[in-house]
A = this chain, B = another copy of it.
Amino acid sequence: MSDTDSPIISIRPDPEREQRKGVPEVIFGEAKETGQIISMARGLLAGSGRAIISLVRTEAVEALRAAFQEDTVCIREAARMVVIYRPGYVRRSTGGHVGVISAGTSDIPMAEEAALIAEEMGCRVTCIYDVGVAGLHRLMEPLRNLLDDGVDAIVVAAGMDGALPSVVAGLVPVPVIGLPTSIGYGIGGRGVAALLSMLQTCAPGLSVVNIDNGVGAGITAALIANRVAQARTPFQETER
């Protein structure tokens, strides 16, 4: 008996996806060994000149630095993410504008994930963090500035009671993506109450992603913003 007992046909990852979808592949680093991450990152660098790794364990960071000494290794600690660029890689700038709002301090890592991926998809990103529901009146001014600055889509990260996305969606005329986070305890904990509350919203224009899926929320917001940006300046279309 050996691994070659059964013939194995491997359907390789889709090389044209980034081009077709306009969305970069992301390596989820959490459950992978460092060696595996490095090997996958090499593949992405060879293909597109950039590798994005999320949920990076602390111990993997130094190994990544060592492995990619000739590339630019950017660490974004707050987002638990690393991005590696081939020398000469130029990140496109689409002109899309994404807002990212977080309810509490503990929601910041997931909010930062969304912010980073939106940046890597070429968007301008504005973050407004640590907005308690009790402090709603103080949210009004930064929110108004955000709208005046032409934001195209807003990600709102919240755990616990998950009330903030509904409140924001009730106030703004752009699509809001609710990002429930796994903050919470007891019954409805680990983000379940937050997710359910967002799905039950009365506010129009709020759609949601799964708990802690900051990458997914950022991608959706950036897809919206980039489509708007493309409409704004149609000559950029050829870049994609």
Write the residues of chain A forming the contact surface with B, with a CB cutoff of 8 angstroms: 1-3, 5-14, 17, 20-23, 31, 74, 76-78, 83, 91, 100, 104, 106, 115-116, 119-120, 124-140, 142, 152-153, 160-163, 166-167, 170-175, 177, 180, 182, 184-189, 191-213, 216-217, 219-220, 223-224, 227-229, 231-232, 234, 240
Contact = CB atoms under 8 A, between A and B. Distances in A.
Interface SS of A by simple majority: mixed
Q: How often does this chain occur in the complex, in copies?
A: 8
A186 B217 CA distance: 14
A49 B172 CA distance: 23
Contacts of A229: 231
Given A163-B161, A197-B162, A220-B175, A12 B130 contact: yes
Contacts of A128: 8-11
A212 B193 contact: no
B223 A173 contact: yes
Nearest to A179: B207
